[in-house]
Structure 1
Amino acid sequence: MSFPISFFLFFFTLTLGSFISISSSSWFGAWIGLELNLMSFIPLITFKSKSLFSEAALKYFLIQALGSVLFISSGILSLSFYLISSLSILLSLLLKLGSAPFHFWFPQVMEGLQWPQIFILSTIQKLAPLTLISYLMNSSILIKMTILSSILSALIGSLGGLNLTLLRKIIAFSSINHLSWMLMAVSISDMSWLIYFIIYMFIILSITSVFHKLQTFSLSMLIQSDHNSTFHAIIISLNFLSLSGLPPMTGFIPKWIIMQIMLNLNLYIPLFFLLFSALITLYFYLRIIISMIILLNPILNFNMKYKSLTSFSSTLFFKSSFNFIGIIYPLYFIFI
């Protein structure tokens, strides 16, 4: 898929809006950055004139506009009613993130996007709201609300992904589940959520790159793709294992850091829900991996076209190599 020049222009203004929100010294400046970010992402969704893209753009615009109205209204009240205003700002940011219990729009919008836009929605679009939430973590009530939203996101993100065959919805519920870990990290440590976000961004980049190359949007399309190969099957499997946080893959490192901090703070009940949800997400990742690997066998494969065993893409391997850092990381402690 080739992108027009305007795509890169809007992508630049989108990232600029995120940085304006992060670096702003007032809620009004943060709101301007969020609006610039929103108005730059809409053209990125609808760069092809298809009804599915237009529907996703309309849903995204309405939800984000509702969140922006609540955000700027709460910012005005901050001078007189600080606690109520901060709570309303937190709720508006959770709505913009797609965190539970405001997650209802996220899988529906994700279903109408292409893989590059899915990467942007899962990563860059969450940077500014998460940073603004971290600025609010100076009240025990707001911290408890964030932890509650984290627990709900963990349960909904794991249970919602069961028995799905559409890859975009699986990635959407997976993103909601990973958002629960980020929200928990935001409430306890600024550095830990940033580490988690950066590692998650590289992992989701490798997954969306493979699916974008294969142009697959469902489990059946992935298995029967004419461009599928043993190399792609191995890369997808390792990416999903890293996304699930299974040791010794790279995705386990940020979860390990957050678990250590939560144990030190005696947050046993939230940690139980996060680990329980992680096991459920691992189940539906393994369901994809096992079915894909088994059907690579020519005897069991319904697609009679030859699957190349030597199809190799250095670009995809380079993008996915980040997932192997967790395997090499323990060697550091062996040799020091």
Structure 2
Amino acid sequence: MIFPLSYMLFFFTLILGSIISISSPSWFGAWIGLELNMMSFIPLITLKMNSYFSEAALKYFLIQALGSALLIASGFISISSLFFSSFFIFLALLLKLASAPFHFWFPQIMEGLAWPQAFLLSTIQKLAPMILLSYLMINNILVKMTMFSAILSALIGAFGGLNIMYLRKIMAFSSINHLSWMLIAISAGDIFWILYFLIYSLILLSVMSMFHKLQTFTLSNLMQSDQNSIFHATLISLNLLSLSGLPPFTGFIPKWILIQIMVNLNLFLPLFFLLFSTLITLYFYLRIVIPFILLLNPIMNFNMKYKSFTSISPSLMIKTSFNFIGMFLPIYLLLI
């Protein structure tokens, strides 16, 4: 079990906090839900007495406390100016989402987490702030600011991941880049971002499950892992290509639909930056994949351990199989 049974209460209150935020009729109720969510996540980070986990928990608490303080301050400002109140709520939500230009804390905290906690931080912890952000999209100025933040997130997520050897930091910058696509969908006023979020979460689950099983945190560890095999190498490569949004994998489908939406809305400038950043992110995914492809050569695979296919867990196969649904989409379209 990834989390001990005694910690299931914290996991339950983590989900409950997100639900309270989403369904709250007031911003005060949303703040209570976000606080409950934050205070439930901190014990899940510090499962073991480890200085890295403690440091990550402290950093996460300070950043989220700053976001919550901004959210509460907006309540006092709403008495004199409703726009500035919405603006401060907007900034607080961007900070909680780790969207540019408030992305600085996200890679550092990811570096101090284990893989299950890193998955929670990249997915469930972003759900409530994104839905709250979508409530603010009735103001044209905030819509334009969201688009600007999305473009900035795309570029920072792309360039930040270059020349990094740590897998958790690569996944952090990848998450910032994927967040930019979701922010564009939110600013376009389209409910489609929820589909993008679900597909991204499932792909990320398959990638991080592989890394957690192999217990690897750097590129060199990944290549030299004792548990590594040709089959693991192939699965990791295909999962990462799906995460990059390369056709015909599942990761390409939400990007394809969002490109169509952006073209219909004449959002050509943001689309250019998003596609440009996606090409750069593909480069740092290929930095992980290419050594695996080289090691598939029998002459080069001095590092690989030959194992039977029975060593692959069924749950890992189910998580990974989601990445190949996109391959069957052309057949489905032909049948229509």
- On whether the aligned pair clears a TM of 0.5, the verdict is yes
Q: Distance in 2 between matches of 1:88 and 1:250?
A: 37
Query: CA shift at 1:27, angstroms?
Result: 0.4
Shift of 1:326: 0.6
| Distance (whole Å) between structure 1 residues aligned to residue 212 and residue 170 of structure 2 | 15
SS at match of 1:190: coil
Match of 1:227?
Answer: 227
Correspondence for 1:285: 285
The residue that corresponds to 1:37 in the other structure is 37
Match of 1:180, SS state, is helix
Structure 1 counterpart of 2:307, one-letter code = S
TM alignment of 1:229-244, pairs within 5 A:
229-244=229-244
Shift of residue 296, structure 1, vs aligned partner: 4.2
Aligned to 1:323: 323
TM-score (norm 1): 0.97
Show structure 1 runs of 4+ deviating over 3 A. Answer: 296-299
DSSP 3-state at the match of 2:43: helix
Q: How far did 1:2 drift?
A: 4.9
SS in 2 for 1:162: coil
Q: Distance in 1 between matches of 2:131 and 2:190?
A: 9
Q: Does the CA-based 8 Å contact 1:226-1:307 persist in structure 2?
A: no
Kindly indicate whether residue 267 of structure 2 is the aligned counterpart of residue 267 of structure 1: yes
The Cα of 1:110 is off from its aligned counterpart by 0.1
Q: Is 1:140 matched with 2:140?
A: yes
Deviation track 1:279-318 (CA, whole Å, cap 9, x = no partner) reads 0001111111011221344533453x63326343322110
2: CA distance between counterparts of 1:119 and 1:178?
Answer: 14
Matches of 1:313 and 1:283 in 2, distance apart?
A: 30
Task: Report percent identity of matched pairs.
Answer: 70
Partner of 1:211: 211
Q: Which amino acid aligns with 2:306?
A: K
Number of the residue aligned with 1:25? 25
> What does residue 253 of structure 2 align with?
253
- One-letter amino acid of the structure 2 residue matched with residue 308 of structure 1: K
- C-alpha separation between the residues in 1 aligned to 2:317 and 2:152? 35
Paired AA for residue 204 in structure 1:
L
Residue ranges of structure 1 left out of the alignment (5+ in a row): none
- 1:94 to partner: Cα distance: 0.4
Further displaced range: 252-261 or 166-175: 252-261
1:1-336 → structure 2 map (5 Å cutoff): 2-297=2-297, 299-301=299-301, 303=303, 306-308=305-307, 310=309, 311-336=311-336
1:128, 1:166 → 2: CA distance? 28
Instruction: Tell me the distance in 2 between the aligned counterparts of 1:57 and 1:289.
Output: 31
Distance 1:301 1:160, change over 3 A: same
Structure 2: segments with no counterpart, 5+ residues: none
Aligned residues: 335
Contact 2:2 2:116 in 1 (8 A): no
After TM superposition, give the deviation of residue 140 of structure 1 in Å.
0.7
| Aligned-residue offset at 1:194 | 0.5
Local SS of the residue matching 2:40 = helix
CA deviation after TM superposition for structure 1 residue 90, in Å: 0.5
Moved more, 247-256 or 45-54: 247-256
8 Å Cα contact 2:17/2:35 also seen in 1: yes
- Give 1:75 deviation, angstroms: 2.8
Q: Kindly provide the CA deviation profile for residues 78-123 of structure 1, in whole angstroms up to 9, marking residues without a partner as x.
A: 2431111111111110001111000000000000000000110000
User: What do the CA deviations read for 1:169-210 (whole angstroms, capped 9, x no partner)?
Assistant: 000000000000011111113321101001001001111111
In 1, the alpha carbon distance for the partners of 2:234 and 2:184 equals 32
C-alpha separation in 1, matches of 2:91 and 2:168: 26
> Once superposed, what is the RMSD of the aligned Cα atoms?
1.3
